[in-house]
Structure 1
Amino acid sequence: MIKTLIFDFGNVFINLDIEGAAKYAFETLEIDSFSEEMTAFNSFYEQGLISTDEFLEFYAENFPKLSKEELIYTWNYMLKHFPKTRLEFIKELKTSSKYKLILLSNTNELHIDSIKESISFFEEFKNCFDAFYLSHEINLRKPNDDIFEFLLKENNLKAEECLFIDDNKDNIETANNLNFKTWHINPETEDVCTLFETKSSLF
């Protein structure tokens, strides 16, 4: 029996303009592609192995002509928009069910700050959840802990009683291996419609 819904923030709730973001970043940084060192550093940051300050310091050293604000905007460009239908869906789910709702975000500090500033209803959306976590911060605090294990311990949950909703197949496979119920969303489709079409099975 499912008691808890765990949403990955990523493409489940935000439309990411990945291609446009890469193009903008390359034009701003005046490069044709990310170097091996940059790709590695980006990965380290996403995994929470380095802090936001270390991440920005790396790019500031490599691109001294850009201010800290310009660098932050470059990385936040991928936040194309946050449709209000996401808020409406979660509010309806919150009021129509008895599920505990958890939001797990692999969105890092740079993106979250931008979201808070640009989306007027972000706090209202966030407050619909019983718990909100940044995987980047979890990794920084507990680099040897699995994020799923952290969520289970932190909220006193059983994996088989949780439904994990994500667009990332690797995350879905990991969750499946830990006995989570899972729901894979195709990031190339309008994900909220997918949720609305199938959420009746939750009630």
Structure 2
Amino acid sequence: MDSILNPSTLKNLVFDLGDVIIPIDLTAPVRNFAMLANLPEDEVWAIWKEHNFINHYETGLLDDAAFRAEVRQLLKNDVWADEVIDTAWNTVLLDLPVERIARIQELKANHRLFLLSNTSPIHIRRVNDVLTQLNLPTLEQLFERVFYSYEVRLAKPSPDIYRHVLTEAGLVAEETAFFDDNAANIQAAAELGIQAVHVQPPMTIIDYVKDL
């Protein structure tokens, strides 16, 4: 469900992170943990779905240590170092297209910019490390406010997380655009009156904001 952007009323831009700013491969962590544990990938997928601990991690019910402990317990390997787990978990993140960061920086001149992501602390630290290595601003520097699911203890597509962003940042829904790659997330935002845009390949976020 897409909304046609109305630049004349648009004051605020809210961006998702994964597959909007940075490309991701949601299957990569499962492949890597399966290889580390010497298990079939479908068995690791089944464990992930049965226990739902990733959702608990991304909504702040588990901290980093508890997340890693859960991985060790479920995959029956209590000797993996934190770095091993973090590295496998971060394989979801692909190479960062720096031109997307440059375009977002340009948009700052005429819009208030925000980030809204279902994510985890391990992923955010890694993204910020990559940005710093490229001499680019961190996410917290790039945006006026960042809203991470694990901090607000809410996750898309719950309407409550969009209401939280609008209230906390003092935004009017009709003056706000939201860019996300997930159709359910887009529909939930649109139902609140937000100008919601479904980012879909082969187009990238640069294509969607070129006229702003």
**Deviation by residue 1:40-95 (Cα, 9 ceiling, x = unmatched):** 21232234333322211111233213111101111001111111111211122223
State percent identity of aligned pairs.
Answer: 28
2:133 equivalent to 1:118:
no
SS in structure 1 opposite 2:210?
helix
Which aligned pairs between 1:1-203 and structure 2 lie closer than 5 A? 1-32=9-40, 33=42, 34=44, 36-39=46-49, 40-61=52-73, 62-95=76-109, 98-119=110-131, 120-121=133-134, 124=137, 126=139, 127-139=141-153, 146-186=160-200, 188-195=201-208, 199-200=210-211, 202=212
Greater helix share, structure number: 1
Q: Are the aligned partners of 2:159 and 2:189 in contact in 1 as well (CA < 8 Å)? A: no
**TM-score by structure 2 length?**
0.81
Q: Are the aligned partners of 1:12 and 1:167 in contact in 2 as well (CA < 8 Å)? A: yes
- Structure 2: state its 5+ residue gaps: 1-8
- Structure 1: state its 5+ residue gaps: none
Distance 2:135 2:56 in 1: 27
Structure 1 residues 152 and 74 mapped into 2: Cα distance closer, same or farther (>3 Å)?
A: same
Q: How many residues align?
A: 193
Q: CA deviation at 1:174?
A: 0.5
Moved over 4 A (4+): none
Structure 1 residues 193 and 43 mapped into 2: Cα distance closer, same or farther (>3 Å)?
A: same
Q: Are the aligned partners of 2:23 and 2:96 in contact in 1 as well (CA < 8 Å)? A: yes
Q: CA deviation at 1:190?
A: 4.7
**TM-score by structure 1 length?**
0.84
Distance 2:134 2:117 in 1: 17
Q: CA deviation at 1:37?
A: 4.4
SS in structure 2 opposite 1:5?
strand
Q: CA deviation at 1:134?
A: 1.1
Q: Are the aligned partners of 2:12 and 2:113 in contact in 1 as well (CA < 8 Å)? A: yes
